[in-house]
């Protein structure tokens, strides 16, 4: 297996594995071929830009800790990151304000409800249950504070650049659509303002949230972002530190318990990989110390998770033994043989 460096179509410096007979690439191609005929689900249709997505688009990407990238299918096709952005902005908020403060504004409890649930604020604390539902993500975006809206967006874009290893851009037409149709998110934000859970810059914070959701990525970007988390916060090809490693534990915990919305319990049981999905069809998963995995395929199940994404993760978890409670390798010197 020979590994070489080159610039990919998007200008990111990637280490490409040139392995005509790589067994792992063959395995990914087999997964692609196996699940391409899966025709269940429907593309998101709450805005025209997402409704136009090609239901046959399907890409898989895996990045290892030493920066090898294995892909199959449409792994270079761009789509909007949507809710996959949520754990990353959660970490940025913790880097800015610390774990305790962020936790006073956003809980870490699964809801069992849909991602856009309107009413699920904790009855006593008025906090959103977790940063993966829209209420929690909007409260988290509110914590990305800076002198003006452009500086707030810059903080988020800088963070994504560190994780993806290249500059990401906002899809303006998706952003404008999200903003002009996001009445439910607006209602959630105003309810939280009423309870004093977010500050008064509601429109600015909502714009920031819509922009973070409208960031363009491909499956390879998501796999690199996941691999960075698997690699203690160090990007596997640029070597740049993307996040304070102490917060990765927080991110992965909420991803495992809340990342796949109201399928999270089933996911933890069946797949056991901390993961996050988005309505653009993207899904990423983190296998700590081993790899980052991403799948892109727009048709979603009734809970908003990519149908092919779910199928690929379930299959990989079984085939490769990736469930965290199967692959745990605790090292306790002097306690274990």
User: Which of 61, 130, 140, 185 forms a contact with ligand DON (CB under 6 A)?
Assistant: 185
- Residue span binding ligand DON (CB under 6 A) among the ranges 23-31, 51-59, 197-205, 274-282: 274-282
Using CB atoms within 10 Å of the CB of residue 99, give its burial: 0 to 12 exposed, 13 to 18 middle, 19+ buried. Answer: middle
279 given a catalytic annotation: yes
Name the pairing type of β-strands 59-64 and 291-296: antiparallel
Minimal distance in Å, beta carbon 177 to ligand DON? Answer: 9
Stretch in the footprint of ligand DON (CB under 6 A) among 12-20, 62-70, 191-199, 271-279: 271-279
Of 197, 279, 312, 316, the residue at the interface with ligand DON (CB under 6 A) is 279
Sheet holding 282-287, edge to edge: 2-7, 13-18, 69-73, 59-64, 291-296, 282-287, 275-277
- Catalytic residue check, 105: no
DSSP 219: H
Q: Which stretch binds ligand DON (CB under 6 A): 154-162, 195-203, 243-251, 272-280?
A: 272-280
The C-alpha atoms of residue 105 and residue 145 are separated, in whole angstroms, by 14
Among residues 27, 43, 63, 86, the one annotated as catalytic is 86
Part in contact with ligand DON (CB under 6 A); list of ranges 5-13, 103-111, 123-131, 275-283:
275-283
Task: Examine residue 213 and tell whether it contacts ligand DON (CB under 6 A).
Answer: yes
CA proximity to 63, closest of 283, 254, 231 = 231
Q: For ligand DON, which is the closer residue by CB, 16 or 301?
A: 301
Cβ closer to ligand DON: 234 or 260? 260
Q: Yes or no: say if 1 and 17 are a contact pair by the CB < 8 Å rule.
A: yes
Tell me if 116 contacts ligand DON by CB under 6 A: yes
**From the list 71, 211, 277, 297, which residue makes contact with ligand DON (rule: CB under 6 A)?**
277
Question: What whole-number distance in Å separates Cα of residue 27 and Cα of residue 58?
Answer: 15
Asked if 211 contacts 72 with a C-beta cutoff of 8 angstroms, the reply is: no
Q: Is 86 a catalytic residue?
A: yes
Binding residues for ligand DON, total number by CB under 6 A: 12
Residue 104 C-alpha from the chain's centroid: 23
In sequence order, which ranges of 171-306 are alpha helices (DSSP H)? 172-181, 183-194, 202-213, 219-230, 248-258, 264-270
Binding of ligand DON by 215 (CB under 6 A): no
Is position 295 annotated as part of the catalytic site? no
93 binds ligand DON (CB under 6 A): no
Active site residue 290: no
Q: How many CB atoms lie within 10 A of CB 150?
A: 8
Whole-number Å distance between alpha carbons of 304 and 306: 7
Distance CA 110, CA 164 (A): 27
Catalytic residue positions, numbered: 83, 86, 209, 261, 279
Interacting residues toward ligand DON by CB under 6 A: 82-83, 115-116, 134, 178, 185, 213, 277-279, 304
């Amino acid at each position: 297996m020979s590994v070489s460096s080159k610039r990919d179509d998007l200008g990111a410096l990637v280490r490409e594995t040139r392995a005509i007979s790589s067994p792992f690439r063959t395995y990914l191609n087999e997964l692609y071929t196996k699940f391409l005929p899966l025709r269940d689900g429907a593309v998101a249709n709450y805005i025209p830009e997402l409704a136009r997505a090609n239901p046959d688009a399907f890409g898989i990407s895996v990045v290892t800790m030493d920066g090898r990238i294995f892909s199959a299918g449409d792994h270079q096709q761009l789509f909007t990151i949507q809710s996959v952005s949520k754990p990353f902005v959660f970490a940025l908020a913790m880097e800015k304000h610390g774990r305790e403060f962020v936790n006073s504004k956003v809980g870490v409890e699964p809801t069992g409800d849909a991602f856009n649930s309107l009413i699920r604020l904790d009855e006593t604390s008025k906090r959103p249950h977790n940063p993966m539902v829209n209420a929690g993500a909007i409260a988290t975006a509110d914590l990305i504070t800076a002198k003006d809206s452009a500086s707030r967006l810059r903080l988020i874009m800088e963070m994504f650049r560190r994780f993806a290893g290249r500059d990401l851009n906002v899809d303006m037409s998706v952003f404008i659509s999200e903003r002009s149709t996001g009445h439910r998110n607006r209602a959630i934000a105003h309810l939280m303002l009423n309870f004093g859970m977010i500050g008064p810059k509601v429109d600015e914070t909502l714009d920031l949230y819509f922009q973070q959701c409208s960031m363009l990525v491909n499956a390879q970007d998501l796999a690199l972002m996941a691999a960075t988390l698997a690699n203690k916060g160090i990007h596997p090809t640029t070597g740049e530190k993307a996040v304070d490693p102490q917060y990765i534990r927080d991110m992965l915990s909420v991803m495992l318990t809340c990342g796949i919305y109201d399928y999270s319990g089933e996911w933890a049981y069946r797949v056991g990989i901390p993961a996050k999905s988005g309505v653009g069809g993207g899904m990423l998963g983190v296998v700590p110390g081993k790899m980052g995995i991403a799948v892109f395929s727009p048709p979603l199940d009734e809970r908003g998770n990519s149908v092919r994404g779910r199928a690929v993760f379930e299959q990989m978890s079984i085939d490769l033994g990736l469930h965290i409670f199967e692959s745990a390798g605790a090292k306790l010197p002097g306690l274990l043989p």
